Amino acid sequence: MAARTKAIQALRQFTSCDIGDALVKLGLPHGGYLSGLQMYSPGATSAASKIFGPAYTVRMVPAADKTAPTPPCHFADAIPKDAVVFVSQPKGLISACWGGLMSTRAQKCGAAGVVIDGRFRDVEEHRALGIGLFARGLSILGSNTFTRSSELNVPVTYENIEIDEKVVIEPGDYIMGDVDGVVAIPTGTVEECVRLCQERYEIDEETRKCLERGDEIGPTIKRLRK
């Protein structure tokens, strides 16, 4: 457990790019990259622009769906401390499933950030809070009459639309989001991911030094990267 905790802390220092490259080496299709998400809050120049933590998943359904389960409480009231809230909205909707009041509650619960597989609203409220939020898009419409929460902390599926690929987000999988994008890290890969990230970081730093003194990039990469 101590080794896992240490590895998780170490993973925080790397970027989504570092982690994606490491996960590709570990055989994860497209390195766990969740394509199509954009950082909307707090902003790319903010010191708090990185989010990292275990996923707390929320599966939304259309409001008209009366057969799907109903959670025992509002999903924002059940957010665990230090978790990244990952909301899966039904496809094909132009309404939002998250807003400023939810981020206010999430921040009070100690959430590490929010990822919306869908739309949200109240951009300025989120930025005023300084909470890290990534989403597929925006809407002026609230969730009322359009969607409702159904299941909490269940596996949800994220679709990389461009390549027709689905990424399953398990509750507790680690989510990293920064200015470059968002990546999902399966819990079982954390230690190896850290090792590969550190190895690649050291190689890239040596490569940078060579380039800064005028070395050609082709031979340098061929010599240093394995």
The answer on whether 122 is annotated among ligand-binding residues is yes
pLDDT, mean over the chain? 92
For 183-207, the pLDDT digits (tens) are: 999 999 999 999 999 988 888 888 8
Q: Enter the tokens of residue 210.
A: 């060579």
Question: Is pLDDT larger for residue 48 or for residue 172?
Answer: 172
Residue 164 is which amino acid?
Answer: D
Residue 44 has pLDDT above 70, yes or no: no
pTM of the model: 0.92
Contact between 113 and 131 (Cβ < 8 Å): yes
Q: What is the pLDDT of residue 45?
A: 60
Residues 6+ positions from 212 with CB-CB distance below 8 Å: none
Q: What is the pLDDT of residue 216?
A: 85
CA distance 197 to 81: 26
Contact between 105 and 186 (Cβ < 8 Å): no
**What is the phi-psi region of residue 103: left when phi exceeds 0, alpha when psi lies from -120 to 50, beta otherwise?**
alpha
- How many other CB atoms are there within 10 angstroms of residue 122's CB atom? 21
For 98-142, the pLDDT digits (tens) are: 999 999 999 999 999 999 999 999 999 999 999 999 999 999 999
Binning pLDDT at 50, 70 and 90, where does residue 7 land? confident
For 58-89, the pLDDT digits (tens) are: 999 999 999 999 999 999 999 999 999 999 99
Q: What is the pLDDT of residue 204?
A: 84
Q: What is the pLDDT of residue 48?
A: 59
Domain at 16-187, CATH class: alpha beta
The answer on whether 99 is annotated among ligand-binding residues is yes
> What are the extents of the domains in the chain?
16-187
The answer on whether 101 is annotated among ligand-binding residues is yes
